[in-house]
Amino acid sequence: MVIIPSRLTSTLLATLVLATPLPVACRAAPRTPVPTPDMAEIAGHYTLVEVDGRAVPTTVDHDGTALEIRSGTFSIGSDGRCSTTTVFVPPSGRELAREVHAVYAKDGPRLTIWWDGAGTTAGSVDGATFRMDNEGVMFVYRR
């Protein structure tokens, strides 16, 4: 497995759009997390179980290109920080892992996630299930 740093070539970046939240053309300003007492109740490690309703591992199609998603994790900290790692196989056939970090704000069950050097993603936590909508693709993780 190869660990991919957060700065990628534009070709590989386009391939990963469905695998994890990714940097956009302009870089967002770094955010400082603002922990709240209720963040402790959702803190933990979650395992990717579904992508768009299909059990992981699965293959997704992005603009006619097949991308196999093998596994993933999402870690939510009680300090307002979170991160995700996704293991996938692009058309090259070589397994890769992509790790990204973020800060989040919690409003009831809803999370707003600001990715380091990237955009914003919406998520929600219901019991032991974390859901994240990444550009119209639903990722489901379970604790």
Q: What are the structural domains, with CATH classification, of the chain?
A: 35-142 (2.40.128.300)
State phi, psi for 127 to the nearest 5 degrees.
65, -120
Q: Determine if the pTM surpasses 0.85.
A: no
Instruction: Give the span between the Cα atoms of 137 and 65, in whole angstroms.
Output: 15
pLDDT digits (tens, 9 = 90+) for 48-98: 999 999 999 999 887 788 899 999 999 999 999 999 999 999 988 999 999
The residue ranking higher by pLDDT, 136 or 79, is 79
pLDDT of residue 86: 96
Count Cβ atoms below 10 Å from residue 104 Cβ, excluding itself: 23
Alpha-carbon Rg for the chain, nearest whole angstrom, is: 15
The pLDDT confidence band at residue 30, using thresholds 50, 70 and 90, is: low
